């Protein structure tokens, strides 16, 4: 993995947040097991007709079997919205929500995201997600309000063998609305 250049950690951060920068702050267990029904439903929803994902002969030749579309990678870490036992499910990117709560910030937008793919998700795979607080900036004010920018690095790993399937950098601005 490439060494990442981080901006300095702001001095005004609470220590429990500052110590998370650059570490795997949270690991999310697999939400679902990848299967062909999910893959086909996703492809139909986005109208992706690539034969690699639909034609068994093409998939066998190119990938050894049918695989998930790369755009599906983050879907395997999305927890259920409701659980029958009444328990509240964990939120996708839980660390983001905790940062907002710890810093007293109400709103957030995604500035941009970048995905890198390394190995495809295959039927039967379960995907573990490591969440790293890659960077967090100083407090700033812009036309949206006052808050902070931070970057989360999500590492998606195949549960069975620990192989890195892909990464996703997501850059947020979390803030309280300007009056």
pLDDT tens over the chain, length 179 residues: 445 667 788 999 999 999 999 999 999 888 788 999 989 999 999 999 999 999 999 999 999 999 999 999 888 887 666 667 777 767 778 899 999 999 999 999 999 999 999 999 999 999 999 999 999 999 999 999 999 999 999 999 999 999 999 999 999 999 999 77
Measured CA to CA, the distance from residue 172 to residue 88 in angstroms comes to 24
Residue 34: helix, strand or coil by DSSP? Answer: coil
Eight-class DSSP state of 86: S
Q: Write down the pTM of the prediction.
A: 0.87
Distance CA 17, CA 7 (A): 15
Integer Cα distance of 92 and 80 in angstroms: 9
- The half-sphere exposure of 163 on its side-chain side, counting CA atoms within 13 A, is 12
Q: What angle do CA 26, 69, 135 make, to 5 degrees?
A: 30
pLDDT at 2: 47
**Regarding the domain with residue range 15-177, which homologous superfamily does it belong to in the CATH classification?**
Hotdog Thioesterase (3.10.129.10)
pLDDT (0 to 100) of residue 29: 84
């Amino acid at each position: 993995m490439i060494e990442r250049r981080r901006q300095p950690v702001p001095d005004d951060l609470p220590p429990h947040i500052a110590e998370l920068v650059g570490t795997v702050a949270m690991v999310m267990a697999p939400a679902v097991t990848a299967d062909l029904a999910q893959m086909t439903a996703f492809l139909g929803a986005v109208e992706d007709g690539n034969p690699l994902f639909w034609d068994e002969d093409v998939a066998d030749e190119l990938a050894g079997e049918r695989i998930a579309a790369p755009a599906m990678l983050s879907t395997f870490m999305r927890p259920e919205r409701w659980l029958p036992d009444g328990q509240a499910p964990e939120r996708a990117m839980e660390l983001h929500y905790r940062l907002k709560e710890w810093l007293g910030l109400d709103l957030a937008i995604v500035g941009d995201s970048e995905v890198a793919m390394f190995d495809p998700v295959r039927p039967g795979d379960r995907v573990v997600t490591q969440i790293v607080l890659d960077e967090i900036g100083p407090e700033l004010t812009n036309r949206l309000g006052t808050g902070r920018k931070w970057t989360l690095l999500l590492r998606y790993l195949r549960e069975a063998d620990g192989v890195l399937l892909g990464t996703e950098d997501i850059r947020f601005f979390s803030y309280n609305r300007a009056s």
